[in-house]
Amino acid sequence: MSEPIDKFDHKEIDAKWQKRWREAELFKVTEDATGPKSYVLDMFPYPSGAGISVGHCRNYIPSDCYARFMRMRGNNVLHPMGWDAFGQPAETEAIKRGSHPRETVPKYVANYKRQLNLVGISFDWSREFNSSEPDYYKWTQWIFLLLYKRGLAYRSMAPANWCPQEKTVLANEEVQGGLCWRCGSRVEKRDLPQWFLKITDYAERLLHDLDGLEWSEGLKMMQRNWIGRSEGVEFEMKVDGTEHSFRVFTTRIDTVFGMTFCVFAPEHPLVVRITTDERRAEVEVYAKRAQALSEIDRMATEREKSGVFTGAYAINPANGARVPIWVADYVLMGYGTGAIMAVPGHDERDFEFAKKYGLEIRRVIADNSSLADVPLEKAEPAYGVMVNAGEYSGVACDEGQRRLGEWFEAQRTGERKVNYRLRDWLISRQRYWGCPIPMIHCPSCGMVPVPDTDLPVLLPDVDNYQPTGTGESPLAAIPEFINVNCPSCGGAARRETDTMAGSACSSWYFLRYADPKNDQAAFDPAKAAYWLPVDCYVGGTEHAVGHLLYARFWTKVLQDAGYITFGEPFLKLMNQGSVLGLTPFRKPRENETLSVGQEGILVRPEDVPSIPQDQVFWRWERMSKSKGNVVTPDEMVEDFGADSLRIYELFVAPFEMNIQWSSEGMQGANRFLNRVWRAVLGAKFDREWRSKLEQPFDGKAKSLRQKTHSSLAKVYEDISGFRFNTAVAAMMEWLNELQDFQSSGGSSAAESEAIECFVRALSPMAPHLADEMWERLGFSGFLLGDRLIDPDPAVAKADTVTIAVQVNGKLRSTLEVPAETVGPELERLALADQKVVQHTDGLTVRKVIVVPGRLVNIVAS
């Protein structure tokens, strides 16, 4: 090799191999029943105009390393990519720039794709699709209709979360802390007819099946809490002196004797009927005010409680007591029955409320009966025994719950019930850039689904796709779109003008990758059965209760309808940490105020020089375009090459941890790869090393071989477990040992073995450089198409010793074993030894004497 090998030329190497991979269609896969498969999937990205940052790469690079590794371990790997192109981000972007999403999306997609290729991600682009193409959304509509036909889609008037900025409704999952999760506006309530999907029918299964998933406990807990299962009793109460009655739900029926008042949600329909005339004005004012608040705000425990008395009373069915009925916003209409029995002695919110309005607080639970009259300083929600509870006094809480539940059921005035906090999924949006809901409103037939044969309902072009702000989609302004003939009676009818939220598109895309070009069906069940479920899903935790719950729901529905045989889409889920960028802020000026949690005013990096030094401070913030702290893979690849970026992102920290971006780290990664380059190509490589392993090795060569095989084992184990940082660290140590060996002048089959094993193992991490070195070592083809070398556990073990094996005192065989091999293992190995078996043939083994590290003597007769 005459060329200089001091440093590798990353530009030339990146371009050369990316071109060759593309031309060879190296990443293309098809079903192959002869071996195991592995489906490695990154979450469906929105192709935004900003392109990807090194922050996004924290997801794509490790999952690519894993996918390449799985393939090199003999799996048929599906690693696809596509675009979640419908929905708010594309539309917001398009509105801002006055361009049509149909034009901007392909541009953004092309840019994302270019960037991902730049980093050498091994996506099978032949399976690429985007969710805003009719070929795709036809099947999103088909699944919607499947849900409708199965009674799982319905339209109903609902107080919806309304984002005044985006002029659309939001799902509960899109409201965070009372704010819109995208634009941060305070969410309002509006009564609008909306489409819902009945995810609540699947609450129990969604909860139960979490147990079998290989997801982080934290994420499972978030889903469990979101589903919010609680067991309790729902029972009926009479309004004193009227025919009216209402129901309440409680998880603590054992506290029913401590009910000293009841509370209705302000929206409860009975409120207007039972409120007395002299209380009416005050109640109405209160109810109106409550309407403006979000559920989240209303539930917040730290908010001061407020409420008004209705003037009416209810009867406690357990003891006949007459209790006042109040209205308060901490009771929600959407949960349980929208009315509660208030037990201030044992419920914190009720306690606070009773204190404020001077209502009675009564102890009905205590650690033991002798404490029945101890006054309550605060609500004591613990379990113990019932006290001051008539015939139930002295009864343990759990027994009391059971008996009271039975009592209500026997009376037929109540029953034990399971409640879920999970609400039905609000799926309609009054926005243009989404998948049209395939329904028709007919004056004579009512709601009529678009026949499957008429799908897709195409999204028409509009002149103005700005939201109308009236709660109607811009599609309502297009006569050619809305006017249709009813598929059932043929009469004049109107199309539904709402579109589906983007989360509909991402609820089944993982199935489409199995069969992306199918125009007869959403997917071929056989292909889905081959590729799915997804074996390894990689994405952020921000989707914990949105996407990850919806996708599980649709999967279960498709399973129930017989299209697939599995009920969980993502067996293993890995959540990457974020990349933080150093972000400049300035101190607020005198006339400026900061909102809660805000430390300073964000400034653009280019403005920093013009601000007085003592006014500027820097903080680590999640990388995003809006923060002006983005580093692009383009810059990094330009300066250091794709593989340096890959190594840096793999090595910098455990996969799930946040990292602070550092350019010095990039240089370190680049230096490591240059060392690899020199160690591999500066040696005399002997392709025939395998045939020379029989020769005796000296101590140094022996220890290099041990390092090679133990490193292989460690690297494979770490990559399998998503511990990429320690895998790279093991490569670095291994390289050190190889370099030590080389600088001490050693050269043998052990060195060539180390080099070949190293280059192969490096391939999933730094594929460009690995393929280049592979070629320069005299091989051809691509490492990805080849296998990784299996570590030899015997060589991997620290030094071996030779054990003499005697039969009745005569040396019959020897064992080559790791020095630390213990007695019972030596005995087992000795007895299984071929020569020993021959010499004990026909004899009975009477005794085995083991001297660890030296010999085994078998006494047989």
Note the residues at the interface with ligand ANZ (CB under 6 A). 230, 249-252, 255, 331-332, 335-336, 338, 340-341, 343, 346-347, 381, 419
| 165 vs 413, beta carbon nearer ligand ANZ | 413
Nearest to 472 by CA among 171, 168, 86, 88: 168
How many chain residues interact with Zn ion (CB under 5 A)? 6
| 372 vs 445, beta carbon nearer Zn ion | 445
Among 237, 293, 442, 681, binds Zn ion (CB under 5 A): 442
Among 445, 653, 729, 859, binds Zn ion (CB under 5 A): 445
| Smallest separation, CB 82 to ligand ANZ (Å) | 39
Cα four-point dihedral sign 734, 735, 736, 741: positive
442 binds, among ligand ANZ, Zn ion, none (CB under 5 to 8 A by kind): Zn ion
210 binds, among ligand ANZ, Zn ion, none (CB under 5 to 8 A by kind): none
Q: Say how far apart CA 126 and CA 123 lie, in whole Å.
A: 9
Interface region with Zn ion, contact rule CB under 5 A, candidates 253-261, 275-283, 441-449, 537-545: 441-449
Task: Tell me if 489 contacts Zn ion by CB under 5 A.
Answer: yes
Task: Tell me if 494 contacts Zn ion by CB under 5 A.
Answer: no
Nearest to 39 by CA among 94, 68, 88, 79: 79
| 229 vs 494, beta carbon nearer Zn ion | 494
176 binds, among Zn ion, ligand ANZ, none (CB under 5 to 8 A by kind): none
Nearest to 79 by CA among 26, 132, 14: 26
| Smallest separation, CB 414 to ligand ANZ (Å) | 13
Cα four-point dihedral sign 507, 59, 80, 114: positive
488 binds, among Zn ion, ligand ANZ, none (CB under 5 to 8 A by kind): Zn ion
| 409 vs 740, beta carbon nearer ligand ANZ | 409
Among 488, 624, 726, 800, binds Zn ion (CB under 5 A): 488
Backbone angles phi, psi at 30, to 5 degrees: -135, 170
Please name the residues in contact with 561: beta carbons below 8 A apart, sequence gap of 6 or more: 146, 150
Cα four-point dihedral sign 589, 591, 597, 601: negative
| Smallest separation, CB 443 to Zn ion (Å) | 7
| 457 vs 538, beta carbon nearer Zn ion | 457
338 binds, among Zn ion, ligand ANZ, none (CB under 5 to 8 A by kind): ligand ANZ
| Smallest separation, CB 439 to Zn ion (Å) | 12
Helix axis angle, 642-651 to 10-23, nearest 10°: 90
| 42 vs 347, beta carbon nearer ligand ANZ | 347
489 binds, among ligand ANZ, Zn ion, none (CB under 5 to 8 A by kind): Zn ion
Nearest to 514 by CA among 500, 499, 501, 532: 532
366 binds, among ligand ANZ, Zn ion, none (CB under 5 to 8 A by kind): none
| Smallest separation, CB 494 to Zn ion (Å) | 11
| Smallest separation, CB 252 to ligand ANZ (Å) | 4
| 47 vs 405, beta carbon nearer ligand ANZ | 405
| 444 vs 464, beta carbon nearer Zn ion | 444
| 327 vs 442, beta carbon nearer ligand ANZ | 327
Strands across the sheet containing 810-818: 810-818, 800-807, 855-860, 845-851
Task: Tell me if 439 contacts Zn ion by CB under 5 A.
Answer: no
Cβ-contact 319, 390 below 8 angstroms = yes
| 250 vs 575, beta carbon nearer ligand ANZ | 250
400 binds, among Zn ion, ligand ANZ, none (CB under 5 to 8 A by kind): none
Going from the C-alpha of 644 to that of each of 462, 649, 676, 714, the distances in angstroms are 46, 9, 12, 22
| Smallest separation, CB 335 to ligand ANZ (Å) | 4
Task: Tell me if 486 contacts Zn ion by CB under 5 A.
Answer: yes
Q: Which helix (H) or strand (E) holds 118?
A: helix 101-118
Q: Say how far apart CA 550 and CA 223 lie, in whole Å.
A: 11
Residue type for position 436: P
| 442 vs 858, beta carbon nearer Zn ion | 442
Structure tokens at 424: 């039905």
| Smallest separation, CB 149 to Zn ion (Å) | 17
Interface region with Zn ion, contact rule CB under 5 A, candidates 75-83, 445-453, 556-564, 809-817: 445-453
Please name the residues in contact with 692: beta carbons below 8 A apart, sequence gap of 6 or more: 686, 748, 749
| Smallest separation, CB 490 to Zn ion (Å) | 7
Going from the C-alpha of 36 to that of each of 33, 75, 530, 534, 535, the distances in angstroms are 8, 5, 10, 13, 11
Q: Which helix (H) or strand (E) holds 327?
A: strand 322-328
Q: Say how far apart CA 665 and CA 578 lie, in whole Å.
A: 16
Q: Say how far apart CA 520 and CA 526 lie, in whole Å.
A: 14
Structure tokens at 434: 């989404």
230 binds, among Zn ion, ligand ANZ, none (CB under 5 to 8 A by kind): ligand ANZ
| 489 vs 843, beta carbon nearer Zn ion | 489
Nearest to 459 by CA among 48, 92, 46, 133: 133
Which chain residues interact with Zn ion by CB under 5 A?
A: 442, 444-445, 486, 488-489
